[in-house]
């Protein structure tokens, strides 16, 4: 299965830009930033309940490799096709190592600090509105995709969307304005179940409720991974870190 087909299967769109929540006019920096935003949501350590998280993470790596390559991006922009035979996609590459070559590591505490600044910011508002339009008001998809959010944040996200609808900035999608109580209850039930699982894990590890304990828990979870990969990379890397060493490209595949 080719990259575009895998994107459609995993992200419900074969448009590489839509997967990253951006568009064809996006700059290299925007592509880089959005790649890390989406990667954060699907990284196996941050999405343990998603059985497809690892595959999504790998597909995102390939997607970024295409859009960060000028020749590959030009072909895709002009023809809507991806050269599956090019070295960008055909070589046997570890996408976690690719990630580490692109960006330096940051601490879990850095991520927590970023989340504090992100919540309530203009950037969060723009992201929420974009997700609302992209998913046509489906709150299940919006809450699953929103960065740095939990069930407790849903009322706040709804207020952002409601204000945008009232101002005429966006269309009032029926999926949002007429969402059934049953669907809302099902979403809360899922969130409650996930919260209980997280609390049980925290108790098993003998940790408290403060932020320091949260950092310790995340670090320990990270260290337990056989791949020993910094699992908690975030949008902070894309926004504030200097560019890391760019992976070397192999020879271009013949057309």
pLDDT digits (tens, 9 = 90+) for 206-216: 545 544 444 43
> Of the candidates 78, 102, 126, which is a domain's last residue?
102
Asked if 173 and 132 touch (Cβ cutoff 8 Å), the reply is: yes
Q: Specify the pLDDT at position 124.
A: 92
pLDDT tens for residues 57-93? Answer: 889 989 998 999 999 999 999 999 998 887 767 666 6
Q: Is residue 250 part of a domain?
A: no
Q: What does the pLDDT average to over 24-39? A: 89
Q: Specify the pLDDT at position 152.
A: 86
132 and 82 assigned to the same domain: no
**Lowest mean pLDDT: which of 116-120, 132-136, 178-182?**
116-120
* HSE (side-chain half, CA atoms, 13 Å) at 129: 17
Q: Specify the pLDDT at position 220.
A: 36
> Of the candidates 102, 122, 137, which is a domain's last residue?
102
What is the domain extent for residue 60? 3-102
pTM over 0.85: no
pLDDT tens for residues 97-123? Answer: 665 666 556 555 666 777 788 889 998
Residue 5 in this model has a pLDDT that exceeds 70: yes
Q: Is residue 217 part of a domain?
A: no
Q: Bigger pLDDT: 30 or 237?
A: 30
155 and 125 assigned to the same domain: yes
Question: Residue 205: which pLDDT band, with cuts at 50, 70 and 90?
Answer: low
* Closest alpha carbon to 249 in 70, 74, 105: 70
Q: Is residue 235 part of a domain?
A: no
| Residue 17 belongs to domain with CATH number | 1.10.287.110
Q: Specify the pLDDT at position 167.
A: 97
**Lowest mean pLDDT: which of 103-112, 185-194, 217-226?**
217-226
Number of domains in the chain: 2
Residue 226 in this model has a pLDDT that exceeds 70: no
Q: Is residue 212 part of a domain?
A: no
If you search the block for the tokens 């504030």, which residue do you land on?
Answer: 240
Residue 48 in this model has a pLDDT that exceeds 60: yes
> Of the candidates 102, 134, 168, which is a domain's last residue?
102
Copy the structure tokens of residue 220: 């320990």
Question: Residue 249: which pLDDT band, with cuts at 50, 70 and 90?
Answer: very low
Residue 157 in this model has a pLDDT that exceeds 60: yes
Residue 6 in this model has a pLDDT that exceeds 80: yes
123 and 87 assigned to the same domain: no
**Lowest mean pLDDT: which of 31-35, 77-81, 138-142, 242-246?**
242-246
Q: How far apart are CA 168 and CA 179, in angstroms?
A: 20
């Amino acid at each position: 299965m080719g990259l575009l087909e895998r994107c459609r299967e995993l992200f419900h769109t074969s448009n590489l830009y839509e997967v990253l929540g951006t568009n064809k006019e996006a700059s290299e920096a925007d592509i880089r930033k959005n790649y890390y935003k989406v990667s954060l949501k699907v990284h196996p350590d941050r999405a343990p309940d998603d059985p497809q998280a690892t595959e999504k993470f790998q597909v995102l790596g390939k997607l970024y490799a295409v859009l960060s390559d000028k020749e590959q991006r030009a072909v895709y922009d002009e023809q809507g096709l991806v050269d599956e035979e090019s070295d960008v996609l055909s070589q046997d590459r570890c996408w976690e190592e690719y990630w580490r070559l692109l960006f330096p590591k940051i601490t879990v505490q850095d991520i927590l600090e970023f989340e504090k600044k992100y919540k309530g910011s203009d950037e969060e508002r723009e992201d929420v509105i974009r997700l609302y339009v992209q998913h046509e008001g489906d709150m299940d998809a919006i809450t699953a995709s929103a960065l740095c959010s939990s069930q407790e944040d849903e009322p706040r996200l709804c207020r952002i969307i409601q204000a945008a609808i009232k101002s005429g900035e966006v269309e009032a999608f029926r999926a949002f304005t007429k969402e059934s109580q049953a669907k809302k209850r099902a979403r809360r039930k899922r969130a409650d179940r996930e919260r209980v699982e997280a609390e049980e894990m925290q108790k098993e590890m003998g940790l408290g409720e403060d932020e320091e304990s949260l950092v310790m828990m995340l670090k320990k979870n990270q260290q337990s991974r056989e791949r020993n990969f910094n699992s908690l990379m975030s949008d902070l890397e894309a926004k504030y870190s200097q560019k890391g060493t760019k992976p070397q490209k192999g020879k271009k595949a013949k057309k």
